[in-house]
Structure 1
């Protein structure tokens, strides 16, 4: 039970970070997670780095090495490999030091809040550090800390101090700021080193992020209270922007009452599902239209109803049955004909034998 709760918690927190997209600039995000006790399949300590909403790097307590998450030969452009190697070595050392610091921070929080924020399993500590590079060249960022899925501490950049987000965490903030006097250091890091790292990663991933991947489409349907619901699942496409709509009778757009969200996939591509309610009409046709920068022309995928599919199967089955019966008829006819010829020959032979005997 505790293991299941922990996995769900980590998944939700991870999705909450990578699903955010910066439309007017770029972001570099670090999602840091520490669990209290060993859990099968999960490192005690992990760090994931995201450029905008793409997971680009990681570090964990099992390997204790920082690494990029896409092949070097696909996007190594005008950056000497020695520079990248030195950078990753620096990131590795920083993460190793941070791993020790955040173990201490987690134990500190547990001493105050373990009874208040019990997730029914192993305690989970999370820290999110984000720096932002706006389109006009200005920078920004934020930092917050969560415990068992609930945000409890945030960095106040104006006052350069950590503040409590919940009433329960208020009791420990004075001691926290005295013990972990990192607010000034983090603010300087956000505005300088973090931005430099972002620019390096953006250059490093430039070829990868400029790639175009064609979308795949799957159509399905389900029964609903008002008739039938049609689903158009578009997945595996890159870049992110895509237009998906349902069209009736090749001309009328059907508007969806559900908000469709573009979600990231682990491989860096995206997916979206657009669903609409329809009332079945005789002779009406429905199709999903997908427009994406990787396509020369919009992709049109028609919806084939189950009744129509059954009709096609029935027609096909009937045709096969007719062909089978026709072939069987020819076979029987030839068989009977060959038997008839054989019997006539035997009778002729018998008559000749009788004449000779006479």
Structure 2
């Protein structure tokens, strides 16, 4: 049985001669929720770097464009043709998972997540990925180079791996799409979305302190940066500290923020500094804890103030809770 992967059915119309300037990573996430052996819902998204380009859902079985350039250079007829493959994918996926459920006798409800990825550099086979999770735990992944499935740690991992080893047509279809079509589609999107991907905004870095029992909590707040990948660390006397960090969160203007926190004693605070590495910076940005930077007043204006202060408060709360139960 041939299963079409929704993330890449778009690429069936993509010529392989497309090339891209630079390398941009394309990732597709598909989610399938099953209950009593039947698929209840299917949804997914296609992203370049951290920008969502398209989405689909089995309620409509059509592709939703998230960016003004999401349609690339495809015609309306092309997209109608692609939608046919999307509907076929949903039907074939349901047949395959129903078959697995019946063979394994699984009656519980669970969520299957499949993540596929490639870069816009043609021939970059090392960057091809296809991973599957069950209820958030690794179920299995496909070794694209060798064409074999490797079991994870989730329940029924060995069983899923055994069944997928028999589904040679499905495996070959996934590998073919990853190798021959995914990079070409990524190259097209990296071209039509060139201005968006080239956008780089330098981070604003603020470092502050607050009393915590007999110690001092030092918090580094980094905000207003783009793209999303960033490395933020707190250092003391040229040694990187083991810090608590929240997830990278979005601001309301399309940029991002992150908060990092450590605890030091009163005498150590003068030697603390925050170090930030980002693609918008020619060299790491270093901000020391001193009178100029430790005040949050006037940090930012508008809605960003509320967001940063909330993150700051949440980081302190989590840290105190951690210290209490340690």
Q: TM-score normalised to the size of structure 2?
A: 0.62
Does 1:69 pair with 2:54? no
Give runs of aligned pairs for residues 13-162 of structure 1, distance below 5 A: 25-36=23-34, 44-72=41-69, 83=74, 85=76, 88-111=79-102, 112=104, 114=106, 122-132=109-119, 137-140=123-126, 141-162=128-149
Residue 269 of structure 1, CA deviation: 3.5
Give the structure, 1 or 2, with the largest relative contact order (CA under 8 Å, sep 6 or more).
Answer: 2
The structure with the larger Rg is 1
Distance 2:182 2:277 in 1: 36
Q: 1:270 aligns with which of 250, 256, 259?
A: 256
Deviations 1:250-308 (A, max 9, x none): xx778432275873638764332222333336x969886768676899796611399xx
Q: Contact conserved, 2:133 with 2:140, CA < 8 A, in 1?
A: yes
Distance 1:151 1:285 in 2: 42
Distance 1:58 1:169 in 2: 28
Closer, same or farther: CA 197–151 of 1 in aligned 2, 3 Å: same
Residue 208 of structure 1, CA deviation: 0.5
| Structure-2 residue corresponding to 1:192 | 180
Does 1:304 pair with 2:295? yes
Closer, same or farther: CA 257–84 of 1 in aligned 2, 3 Å: farther
Q: Contact conserved, 1:152 with 1:164, CA < 8 A, in 2?
A: yes
Q: 5+ residue gaps in structure 1?
A: 1-23, 38-42, 307-358
3-state SS of the aligned residue for 2:62? coil
Residue 161 of structure 1, CA deviation: 4.6
Distance 2:49 2:173 in 1: 23
Residue 242 of structure 1, CA deviation: 5.2
Residue 27 of structure 1, CA deviation: 2.8
Closer, same or farther: CA 221–102 of 1 in aligned 2, 3 Å: farther
More helix as a share of residues: 1
Deviations 1:129-170 (A, max 9, x none): 223455x95324132322222333333435535454458443
Residue 187 of structure 1, CA deviation: 1.1
Deviations 1:15-39 (A, max 9, x none): xxxxxxxxx94432211101125xx
| Structure-2 residue corresponding to 1:205 | 193
| Structure-2 residue corresponding to 1:356 | none
Q: Contact conserved, 2:100 with 2:163, CA < 8 A, in 1?
A: no
RMSD: 4.4
Distance 1:296 1:132 in 2: 24
